[in-house]
Amino acid sequence: MKASILSTVLLSALGVVSAASPDELKIKVITPVECHRKTRAGDYISVHYEGKLEDGTVFDSSYNRGVALPFNLGQGQVIKCWDEGLLDMCKGEVRELWCHPNVAYGERGIGPIPPNSALIFKAELFDIAGVDVSEETQPEKDEL
């Protein structure tokens, strides 16, 4: 049951293509990390997270399962808040994402998330598939 809620909750695409406005997505870096290879659209990444409602109720957490969630960033496999809020991250970085319902689950809600809920995620970038240590520490081509 928990796995099916996770799949439904986090792997549901909204089908909205416009960028989130500053009123819809707020990003706070909790643990900054310096690197040269940051996440970008199309990367296959793994993220540990804890999702809460604004009242502090935890509705899901990968930390409790001990397994980070893998997905293709920027491809509509997760909510828009994640597709945009997890761009330009370094491995090990931790962010807090505040997501307006417009970039989360909107009027429909889903599983334990009521309709029109703003969500707060603690998200930690665990891995960028295919990126080795030398790429993380070397400047990207456009930085040379």
Q: Is 27 part of the annotated catalytic residue set?
A: no
Q: Is 44 part of the annotated catalytic residue set?
A: no
Q: Is 121 part of the annotated catalytic residue set?
A: yes
Q: Are 95 and 30 in contact (CB under 8 A)?
A: yes
Q: Is 61 exposed, middle or buried (0-12, 13-18, 19+ CB in 10 A)?
A: middle
Active-site entry in 27, 60, 83, 128 = 60
CB environment 34-53: b (16+ within 10 A), e (fewer): ebebbbeeebebbbbbbbbe
Q: Is 59 part of the annotated catalytic residue set?
A: yes
Q: Are 81 and 75 in contact (CB under 8 A)?
A: no
Active-site entry in 27, 43, 71, 105 = 105
Q: Is 49 part of the annotated catalytic residue set?
A: yes
Active-site entry in 27, 45, 79, 110 = 79
Active-site entry in 5, 44, 59, 63 = 59
How many whole angstroms separate alpha carbon 123 and alpha carbon 138? 25
Active-site entry in 45, 71, 110, 121 = 121
Active-site entry in 49, 83, 110, 113 = 49
Q: Is 105 part of the annotated catalytic residue set?
A: yes
Active site residues: 49, 59-60, 79, 105, 121
